[in-house]
Amino acid sequence: MGRAWGLLVGLLGVVWLLRLGHGEERRPETAAQRCFCQVSGYLDDCTCDVETIDKFNNYRLFPRLQKLLESDYFRYYKVNLKKPCPFWNDINQCGRRDCAVKPCHSDEVPDGIKSASYKYSEEANRIEECEQAERLGAVDESLSEETQKAVLQWTKHDDSSDSFCEIDDIQSPDAEYVDLLLNPERYTGYKGPDAWRIWSVIYEENCFKPQTIQRPLASGQGKSKENTFYNWLEGLCVEKRAFYRLISGLHASINVHLSARYLLQDTWLEKKWGHNVTEFQQRFDGILTEGEGPRRLKNLYFLYLIELRALSKVLPFFERPDFQLFTGNKVQDAENKALLLEILHEIKSFPLHFDENSFFAGDKNEAHKLKEDFRLHFRNISRIMDCVGCFKCRLWGKLQTQGLGTALKILFSEKLIANMPESGPSYEFQLTRQEIVSLFNAFGRISTSVRELENFRHLLQNVH
- In the complex, the residues that contact ligand NAG under the rule CB under 6 A are 87, 201, 205-206, 262, 264, 276, 278-279, 282, 376-377, 380
Whether residue 178 contacts residue 395, with contact meaning beta carbons closer than 8 Å, is answered with yes
Q: Buried b / exposed e across 428-444, counting CB within 10 Å, b at 16+?
A: ebbbbbbbbbbbbbbbb
Sign of the Cα pseudo-torsion (32, 37, 38, 43, in order):
positive
Question: Given 3-state DSSP classes, what are the helix, strand and coil percentages for the chain, each rounded to the nearest 5?
Answer: 60, 5, 35
Residue 201 Cβ, how far from ligand NAG at the closest point, in Å?
A: 5
Q: Rounded to the nearest whole angstrom, what is the least distance from the CB of residue 403 to ligand NAG in the complex? A: 20
239: nearest Cα among 378, 77, 73: 378
Spot the catalytic one: 99, 104, 207, 390. 390
- Residues 6 or more apart whose CB falls under 8 angstroms from that of 329 comprise 72, 110, 112
What single-letter amino acid sits at 144?
A: S
Q: Is 320 or 371 the residue whose CB approaches ligand NAG more closely?
A: 371
Q: For residue 322, give the 3-state DSSP assignment.
A: coil
Distance CA 107, CA 111 (A): 8
Does an H or E element contain 258, and which? helix 238-260
3-state secondary structure of 165: coil
Q: Least separation, in Å, of the C-beta of 39 and ligand NAG?
A: 20
Which residue, among 278, 287, 262, 243, has the nearest Cα to 379 in the 3D structure? 243
| Cβ closest to ligand NAG, residue 304 vs residue 378 | 378
**In 227-301, where do the E strands start and end?**
262-266, 271-274
Q: Can you tell me the distance from the alpha carbon of 56 to that of 393, in angstroms, rounded to the nearest whole number?
A: 29
Q: What is the DSSP string of 15-65?
A: HHHHHHHHHTTSPPSSHHHHHHTTSSSBPTTSS-BHHHHHHIIIIIIHHHH
Find the distance separating the first CA and the last CA of the chain, reported in whole Å: 45
Pair type for strands 271-274 and 76-80: unpaired
CB 435, min distance to ligand NAG, A: 22
Smallest distance, ligand NAG to C-beta of residue 277, A: 8
Q: Known binder of ligand: residue 199? A: yes
Active site residue 387: no
Query: Counting beta carbons within 10 angstroms of the beta carbon of residue 27, is it exposed (0 to 12), middle (13 to 18) or buried (19 or more)?
Result: exposed
206 versus 406: smaller Cβ distance to ligand NAG: 206
Is 445 annotated as a binding-site member? no
Q: At 83, is the secondary structure helix, strand, or coil?
A: coil
Q: Would you say 43 and 242 are in contact if contact means Cβ atoms under 8 Å apart? A: no
Q: Which is nearer to ligand NAG, 255 or 336 (CB)?
A: 255
Q: At what angle do helices 292-313 and 391-412 cross, to 10 degrees?
A: 60
Closest listed residue to residue 293, CA positions, set 251, 262, 257: 251
Q: How far is the CB of 81 from ligand NAG (least distance, A)?
A: 20
Helix H or strand E segment including 157: helix 145-158
Backbone torsions φ then ψ of 415, nearest 5 degrees: -80, -20
State the minimum distance, in angstroms, from the CB of residue 386 to ligand NAG: 12
Residue 451, annotated as binding a ligand: no
Min dist. Cβ of residue 4 to ligand NAG (A): 54
165 is known as an active-site residue: no
- Judged by beta carbon, residue 158 or residue 205, the one nearer ligand NAG is 205
The Cα–Cα gap between 277 and 268 comes to 24
Q: Could you tell me which residues are annotated as the binding site?
A: 186, 188, 199, 248, 251, 283
Catalytic residues: 390, 393
Q: Could you tell me which residues are annotated as the binding site for FAD?
A: 186, 188, 199, 248, 251, 283
